Amino acid sequence: MVGIVVISHSRTLADGVTELARAMGVGKAAVEPAGGDSEGGLGTSADLVEQAIELVQDGDGVVLLADLGSAVLTAKVVLEDIPGDVVLVDAPLVEGAVAAASMAATGADLPTVVAAAESAYDHRKL
Residues annotated as part of the active site: 9
Helices (H) and strands (E) in the chain, counts: 6, 4
- Dihedral sign, Cα of residue 120, residue 122, residue 123, residue 125: positive
Question: Contact, 2 vs 104, CB < 8 A?
Answer: yes
Q: Summarize the chain as % helix, strand, coil (round to 5).
A: 50, 15, 35
